[in-house]
Amino acid sequence: MSENTRVAVVSIIVEKPGCVDQINGILHAYSGCIIGRMGIPYREKDISIISVVMDAEPDVINQASGKLGRIDGATVKTAYSKS
């Protein structure tokens, strides 16, 4: 792993359950960079929340979060470590 990597948390709110296969496909493509993942169904609001922790170069994290953010039915935000 390169010394230029950063740790980031990619937070995904899934508002349309039909987009989960697309999300899982993208996450699978970046599985080598994923440290951990947690999914929480929030049945009262009919949404799911997924937190993905990645350790990768910023460009790779940006690619993954950009692809996820273009999925209709998902809202994505990413927070990066300072180093």
What's the whole-model pTM score?
0.92
Q: Is residue 46 part of a domain?
A: yes
Listed residue (71, 10, 15, 3) closest to 36, CA to CA: 10
Q: Is residue 34 part of a domain?
A: yes
What pLDDT, on a 0 to 100 scale, did the predictor assign at position 30? 98
Instruction: Taking residues 17-27, report their average pLDDT.
Output: 97
Residue 56 belongs to a domain with what CATH number? 3.30.70.1150
Q: 11 is in which domain, residue-wise?
A: 6-80
Number of domains the chain is built from: 1
Q: Is residue 1 part of a domain?
A: no
Which tens digits make up the pLDDT trace of 36-51? 999 999 999 999 999 9
- Whether 54 has a pLDDT exceeding 80, the answer reads yes
- Whether 22 has a pLDDT exceeding 60, the answer reads yes
